[in-house]
Every structure is written in structure tokens, then in C-alpha cells.
Amino acid sequence: MSTILIADDEPNIVISLEYLMKREGHEVLVARDGDEALAMIGEHHPDLVLLDVMMPGRSGFEVLKSVRADETIAGTRILMLTARGRDTDRAKGEALGANGYVVKPFSTRELAEQVREMLGDD
């Protein structure tokens, strides 16, 4: 059983993501902003983080950078979610070390599949 951290400030998507991940059989943690997300990653070492880009306080990119810079958590799998469709954000995410990138709106089936894939290669 894997631990998934959902970091998103929009409760309307968190509710669905949480349900989805629980249904997949994972333990789910929720963070409401970037700082909380970073803290929880450091504390709980989740297997995968669903990270929203546009968050108050620290942005998803900043969290990503901090995670990759910290040796203790640098290997955390991070899947970025964003409502911004720009290709520059995707390039930035990839360059900063995100493992995956999903643009909203997305299909829940496809997201679950991607999560499965990412967790699959241990």
C-alpha cells in the first residue's frame, strides 16, 4: 500500500482525487498549500505526490525545486497538475524534475493509470 500526498488548494478537486486514490487502495494525505506540502513530504515521505502548480504561498514549482534540492526527499515521485495549459510550464516542470505533468481537465481513468505506472516502476 502506497502513500499518496495530494497538494492542491481547490477543495472541489481534492474531494474527487482523494476518493479516487483511496479507491485505488492507497493511503491519502492532503495538503492545502505549498508550505504544508513541503512539510508533509519531509515528514511522511509519500510514494507519490499529486502537486498542483497554482497554490498560495509557495507555488508547485517552488515545492518541486525544494524537494529535489533536499537529499532526504529528492527521490520523491511528483506528478504535476495544472490548470495552465502553457507549454512553457510543462518545459519548466520537466526541467525542474517533475516525473509527470497533467493538464486540467483530465480524465480520472487516465490519471489513475498514470499513477499506477509511476508507482509500478519501483
Partner 1 sequence: MRRAEKWLFAGVALVGLVCLAWLIVAGVLLWAVLDPADWATVREALGGRAGLLIFLWALALVPVSAVLRHLIARYITAPARLAEAARLRLDHPVDEPLQADGSFETRQLAAIFNTLIARHRQLQEATDERVAEASRRIELERGRLAALMSELRKSVVVCNLDGRILLYNHRARAQFRRLSGTAEVTGGAELMGLGRSIYTVLDRRLVGHALDTVRRRLDSGTDSPAAQFVTATAGGKLLRVQMSPVTETVDSETEAPRLSGFVLLIENITDDMRADAEKDRLLQSLTEGSRAALANTRAAIEILADGEVDESMRERLLGVIHEEVTGLSERIGQLSDSSAARLRSRWPLEEMLGSELIDAAVRHIEQELPLAAQRKGNGEAIWLKVDSFSILQALAHLAGRVAEAHGANAVELRLSRHSERAALDLLWKAATEANGMDANWEDEPMRTGDEQLSMSVNDVLERHGGTCWHESANGSEHCFRLLLPLAEPGEHPGSQPRQTRESRPEYYDFDLFAITPESHSLDDTELGALTFTVFDTETTGLDPSRDEIIQIGAVRIVNGRVLRQEFFEQLIDPGRSIPTASTAIHGITPEMIRGQPDLDTVLPAFHAFCRDTVLVAHNAAFDMRCLQVAEKRTGVVFDQPVLDTLLLSAVVHEHQAEHNLEAIAERFGLAIIGRHTAIGDAMVTAEIFVRLIPLLAEQGIHTLGEARAAAQKTQFARMRY
Residues that bind partner 1 (CB under 8 A): 61-62, 65-66, 69, 85-89, 91-92, 95-96, 105, 107
Residue nearer to partner 1 on the CB measure, 32 or 90: 90
Residue nearer to partner 1 on the CB measure, 11 or 74: 74
Residue nearer to partner 1 on the CB measure, 23 or 108: 108
Q: How far is the CB of 59 from partner 1 (least distance, A)?
A: 9
Q: How far is the CB of 1 from partner 1 (least distance, A)?
A: 30
Is residue 34 within 8 Å of 63, Cβ to Cβ? Answer: yes
> Which residue, 112, 35, 43, is CA-closest to 79?
112
Amino acid found at 98? A
Q: How far is the CB of 37 from partner 1 (least distance, A)?
A: 16
Residue nearer to partner 1 on the CB measure, 3 or 59: 59
Is residue 64 within 8 Å of 90, Cβ to Cβ? Answer: no
- Residue 3, SS3 per DSSP: strand
Q: What is the C-alpha R_g of the chain? A: 13
Is residue 54 within 8 Å of 60, Cβ to Cβ? Answer: yes
Q: How far is the CB of 120 from partner 1 (least distance, A)?
A: 27
Distance (Å, whole) CA 15 – CA 2: 19
